[in-house]
Chains A and B, each alone.
Chain A
Amino acid sequence: MTASVVVTGLGVTAPNGLGARDYWNATLAGKSAIGPLTHFDASPYPAKLAGEITGFTAEDHLPSRLMPQTDRVTRLSLVAADWALADAQVRPAELPEFDMGVSTASSAGGFEFSQRELKNLWSKGGQYVSAYQSFAWFYAVNTGQISIRNGMKGPSGVVVTDQSGGLDAVAQARRQIRKGTRLVVAGAVDALLCSWGWVGLHTSGRLSTAAEPTHAYLPFDDRADGHVAGEGGALLITESAESARARGAKVYGEIAGYAATFDGREPGLRKAVELALADARVLPSEVDVVFADAAADPELDRIEAETLVAVFGPRGVPVTAPKTMTGRLYAGGAALDLATAFLALEDGVIPPTVHIEAAERFGLDLVVSQPRPAALRTALVLARGHGGFNSAMVVRS
């Protein structure tokens, strides 16, 4: 069954904007949020820059009862879900609870909460560990809390595929909707900017140790030397086209195609792109813009550029990486790219990649510095996760 699945609401918590509108305005203005880490003292660590969300006060948005039991990532997720539902004009209490599900991705669960409780455990003893540690750390906690808060008892789950997760969770939502669930809150938010999370992120060997925010995350640039980590992401309201039509909802566009592959002898990215285009029944020439994974690792950039040139031809399609303004948000990154793609389709403008000087040898038509107006109907979003995950998603207005 291939019923059409559409997106009717966007909820964004990004380092350079809270709420889809704020984020989109900041992104079109090229506003970067990459700067020195302030959540904790990062001076002892090699990497000292991050894309932090500032000005987010969870208590302004969520009830007191949720505060002792939630990590920052769950608070951001709950608020992003609230905003997405409001944007879609969905009032969950008015819908049958088993018709609504939640599908999120997560790279690490509630790290800051866990760091505090583990510290309590080994410095004071087990009696001092919060009972809420039992679930606050867990990868699936964001899905669970969104489900409880909104009374959504339909098919729900979590995907853990590192930075591909933001797309994989939305793909899972599409499967559930095709199987009969009416609406699924889908996407990902990650927030790992505590000292324990920071140590973990360093193990990838891919964090930039640059001191200058404008020199730290430079994908497809000859100076590329790792990325900056950020926090945040996006949740989307995915819905059967039939349901959206029945309630007269505004539709951002359709989740038209998707594929996931795993690296083997050869990198799997190209196969993921080709399969996603085939799933969407879209020709390469019909794709109007690509939101790149943009690893800013010389080898990974080469693989992605070769993939795009092989599929679309040299400088064959506009390519952008607005995540250069936020840093990589782990599972949240691809979900935010997906939301960004829908905003771009709506406004007919491609947001820029900032700070970079595109290396000619890659043969890419990168949209740099300034947004580029364009007639946009179809976008391709790419995401790769550590260890060999590749995901590609085609969206269409």
Chain B
Amino acid sequence: MSQTFTLDDLKRILLEGSGAPEGTGLSGDVLDTEFSDIGYDSLALLETAGRVEREYGIELDEAVVGDASTPRAFLAAVSAHLMTPAA
């Protein structure tokens, strides 16, 4: 499994786990758009975090999910875990 986590990965997992949003949506430059504006609530992010954990074999802190209000912040949080060498 490739150990990078890109915006496309995030979009794919959001769509798989929580469906296509009814807000401004996922097309275009959404890196710095608030998830709530895109159309995803906190539960969608919890579901997304769970899926990322399963797929990448990592464990994200609960606080990370709560604090990452944009895709850029979410990507950074996941990438930080991917750079930690597996025990």
Listed in ascending order, the chain A residues whose CB lies under 8 Å from chain B are: 63-69, 127-132, 134
The interface residues of chain B lying within 8 Å CB-to-CB of A127 are 50, 53-54
Total contacting residues, chain B, CB less than 8 A: 14
The interface residues of chain A lying within 8 Å CB-to-CB of B47 are 68, 130-132
Contact (Cβ within 8 A) A65 B18: yes
Listed in ascending order, the chain B residues whose CB lies under 8 Å from chain A are: 17-22, 39, 43-44, 46-47, 50, 53-54
12 A–B contacts, CB within 8 A, in A order: A63-B22, A64-B20, A65-B21, A65-B39, A68-B18, A69-B43, A130-B17, A130-B47, A131-B43, A131-B47, A131-B50, A132-B43
**Total CB contacts across the A-B interface at under 8 A:** 35
Contact (Cβ within 8 A) B54 A65: no
The interface residues of chain B lying within 8 Å CB-to-CB of A134 are 43
Bound-complex Cα distance A129 to B43 (A): 13
Bound-complex Cα distance A129 to B17 (A): 11
Contact (Cβ within 8 A) A63 B19: yes
Bound-complex Cα distance A127 to B18 (A): 16
Bound-complex Cα distance A373 to B20 (A): 49
Bound-complex Cα distance A128 to B43 (A): 15
- B50 to chain A minimum Cβ distance, whole angstroms, is 6
- What 4 A-B pairs are tightest by C-beta distance, nearest first? A131-B47, A64-B19, A64-B20, A65-B19
- What residue of chain A has the Cβ atom nearest to residue B48's Cβ? A131
- What residue of chain A has the Cβ atom nearest to residue B53's Cβ? A127
Bound-complex Cα distance A127 to B55 (A): 11
- B78 to chain A minimum Cβ distance, whole angstroms, is 15
- Neighbour of A65 across the interface among B22, B50, B53, CB < 8 A: B22
- A135 to chain B minimum Cβ distance, whole angstroms, is 8
Most buried by B among A68, A129, A131: A131
Contact (Cβ within 8 A) B21 A131: no
Most buried by A among B19, B20, B22, B46: B19
The interface residues of chain B lying within 8 Å CB-to-CB of A128 are 54
Bound-complex Cα distance A129 to B46 (A): 11
Q: A131-B46, A131-B47, A132-B43 are in contact. Are A68 and B17 (CB under 8 A)?
A: yes
The interface residues of chain B lying within 8 Å CB-to-CB of A64 are 19-20
Bound-complex Cα distance A349 to B82 (A): 69
- A106 to chain B minimum Cβ distance, whole angstroms, is 21
Bound-complex Cα distance A63 to B20 (A): 8
